[in-house]
Structure 1
């Protein structure tokens, strides 16, 4: 069920004894499977309350809370250079499940267009992801979140491509490109790591020079670290990507994954297939049309790039 900001503020006062709600606001970004509000108390402190809208999101929230508690320990031990939401209390919901309340993590959402090359924010972003991928995988496993080995994860990607192919809406040359990369065994020899699994600019909080926090850990898993890099390689200014990757590689210990960047770029392409499948499953014609347009644009750009590469080799 959906809850209003006032209802969420009431839950916050139940979850955190002594919290005197003075104001309540919707966050700037949507909550997805959660109702979210920012509650401001009488001392002007800001609290975030998240309430699941379904049994599924309630189960995800419970796993996320357990993981975030373990991540907070890693922050306090100096293993992570950014903060995470720290649970302050829970409020039980009439339909079952719980809402969670935590102090708002400082920072503002990352703007990719603001990234510049050099030792500032781009490098901080690389170090943050490198530190995340160095965490013990048991943190995710103990929270009951998914754990994949490299072979199983490649099979998962193959299943997505097969399902997308059955829609008849993916260009043939693009499907062939994906199949070739999925069949390249060398490409998929990687060491699975803890990954966030759903990074966007909304989930990464920053100040002028550093990453201050990372939010929304419900999609975390042990899987391919390339997935957490994909959105940056695809959307960040190209001149900042080198600084991100250099800092990332320096933060990783004994990183020998020579195909990391290639898989990250492929993951960006396969995200369009998942967008298409989301539109098909939900019956959203607008999403399907959007995905089809982007898939055809990707097909055209990759064919042009392959043609240029072929000519240069010749």
Structure 2
């Protein structure tokens, strides 16, 4: 096979002749080369081990593809060629600008790019021994490990870019079970605060790819980004939370249709996802109600304790079950372009009473919205009554949370909510 002829560059970054590859290497002539970061749509970077037969830095780790620019070749075309040859990637390139690199082994004008690719990786056997996708943070941790040999030029040319993107995080938001962080304005990362939440997040990761294509509103599709500690990531859904939105009857109609689709979901879609099935979910519910009986009822005024106990007994009754979101409220609903567009946070998904998902739509939204939900969903009188009880139960969870991490103020807020919703004048 004919030897490659490489484009040489002068110190000003301009083409300046050419030389066979072997001559360029032997004399360490200044040439042109490309480097391309390959990310997937979750922001991970493809990292690979170079083969031991490479002419420079054999068996080193690298987190870019690329190579020399050939004589007469446009650098971006050279980058596309190298990317396709080394990894089988053919996506569009975004320029990160030019830079210089030089050491005892190689000296070149660097043309840097980044690309996003979700297709298969097809490593070139002569170039790549093996590879894997890593989060930016885990890649940086490996770069800081002196025992892991990384390409010094890639480290020098792309290290600042990595650190800049690793630092592009919003302030963590503390939830009851998870801690959420917006990353690069594009993704939401969640880490569990408790062991139970880790199980829930893993079930959500398995469930959502199966569920998302079958639903009329957008839902997140998370992946496990890092294992230790566990971190899951999904793309930010467009829009804002519905907590401050003025919902309309059209929103109610869309939400009712969405819930009907969720609750009619065939069991085979979610049966192997790991979410609690009906028997396990009921056992968990009964255990929670027992704790509420002993920990919350005694905090109520004497004259309200009978009503509180009656509510717990009604919730404990057996009901039809289906797939449910499990924690549907304005804080988990997004609005974009003036209407409801998505539903977030499915870690509480389970097989349970579908009325739990109807509580907020029917009793926490304006009456015209609730009426539209009921009509689109086809709510029965029995479902309406159960949804009202689930709505009444909401502050009981708040009170229990306050007895743990939440603190006394949360307990007081929860008790006020319980007493308000136990009021006999509250009607559907």
**Partner SS for 1:259:** helix
Instruction: Show the counterpart of 2:266.
Output: 136
Larger radius of gyration: 2
Instruction: Show the counterpart of 1:80.
Output: 215
Say whether the 8 Å CA contact 2:248–2:368 is kept in structure 1.
yes
Instruction: Show the counterpart of 2:9.
Output: none
Alpha-carbon distance in 2 for matches of 1:172, 1:82: 45
Instruction: Show the counterpart of 1:108.
Output: 240
Note the aligned Cα RMSD (angstroms). Answer: 3.6
How many residue pairs end up in the alignment? 274
Name the structure where helix makes up a greater proportion of residues. 1
Alpha-carbon distance in 2 for matches of 1:282, 1:87: 27
Alpha-carbon distance in 1 for matches of 2:323, 2:307: 28
Query: CA, structure 1 residues 57+161, in 2 after alignment: closer, same or farther (shift >3 Å)?
Result: closer
Say whether the 8 Å CA contact 1:164–1:273 is kept in structure 2.
no
Instruction: Show the counterpart of 1:296.
Output: 419
Question: Aligned match of 2:199 in 37, 52, 59?
Answer: 59
Say whether the 8 Å CA contact 2:263–2:354 is kept in structure 1.
yes
TM superposition score normalised by structure 2? 0.55
Output aligned runs, 1:12-91, within 5 Å: 12-13=135-136, 21=165, 24-26=168-170, 30-40=174-184, 46-72=186-212, 75=213, 79-87=214-222, 90-91=225-226
Q: Which has the higher contact order (CA 8 A, sep 6+)?
A: 1
**Cα shift at 1:157:** 6.7
Structure 1: gaps of 5 or more residues: 1-7, 250-254, 307-314
**Partner SS for 1:82:** coil
Structure 2: gaps of 5 or more residues: 1-42, 46-133, 140-157
Alpha-carbon distance in 2 for matches of 1:279, 1:31: 13
**Cα shift at 1:218:** 0.8
Question: Aligned match of 2:390 in 253, 263, 267?
Answer: 267
TM superposition score normalised by structure 1? 0.72
Alpha-carbon distance in 2 for matches of 1:141, 1:47: 28
Say whether the 8 Å CA contact 1:15–1:88 is kept in structure 2.
no
Any runs of at least 4 consecutive aligned residues in structure 1 with deviations exceeding 6 A, and if so which?
Answer: 8-11
Output aligned runs, 1:147-226, within 5 Å: 147-148=277-278, 155=286, 158-164=289-295, 168-180=298-310, 188=317, 190-208=319-337, 210-226=339-355
Alpha-carbon distance in 2 for matches of 1:191, 1:132: 14
Instruction: Show the counterpart of 2:143.
Output: none
Question: Aligned match of 1:92 in 203, 227, 237?
Answer: 227
Alpha-carbon distance in 1 for matches of 2:299, 2:215: 42
